[in-house]
Amino acid sequence: MLIKSNNTMNGFLQRTDPHFKKFAFAIHGVYGEEPGLEIRGAWMWRGTDIPFELRDHPSYEVHKFNRLDRANEEQRNLFEEYWLNQTEDESVVRGLRARTLVYYR
């Protein structure tokens, strides 16, 4: 299951427009324990709307994007949790162990 989840995650990143890397930065990974693995991440990009490069992606419909409300301390802490816990098989984010992590830059 971990290999399949890694392939799905890497396929998503590979199909993203290569020019989008100029405008985005992310930590993207597979979290949890088998068989309940989840692909999650924290993305930053230029602007406030979801960029065309992601909306035009073949698997856009299966992803869930949430805009960060900087005034909401819980959301800020979650975002920091993704960026500060970056050790594979050790770090825990929202109760799920980070299995595989990829940096999109």
Res 41: pLDDT: 94
* Antiparallel, parallel or unpaired: β 92-93 and 96-104: antiparallel
Count of positions (residues) in the chain: 105
C-alpha distances in Å from residue 59, one per residue of 16, 38, 94, 104: 10, 15, 24, 17
Please give the model's pTM, rounded to 2 decimal places.
Answer: 0.86
Pick the CATH number of 2-104 from 3.30.70.1010, 3.40.50.720, 3.40.50.1400, 3.40.190.10: 3.30.70.1010
Question: What are the pLDDT digits (tens) for 54-89?
Answer: 999 998 999 999 999 989 999 999 999 999 999 999
Most distant CA pair in the chain, distance: 37
Res 18: pLDDT: 87
Res 1: pLDDT: 87
Helix ranges restricted to H, the chain: 2-14, 52-55, 73-84
In eight-state DSSP terms, residue 22 is G
Question: What are the pLDDT digits (tens) for 18-43?
Answer: 888 899 999 999 999 999 999 999 99
Res 94: pLDDT: 93
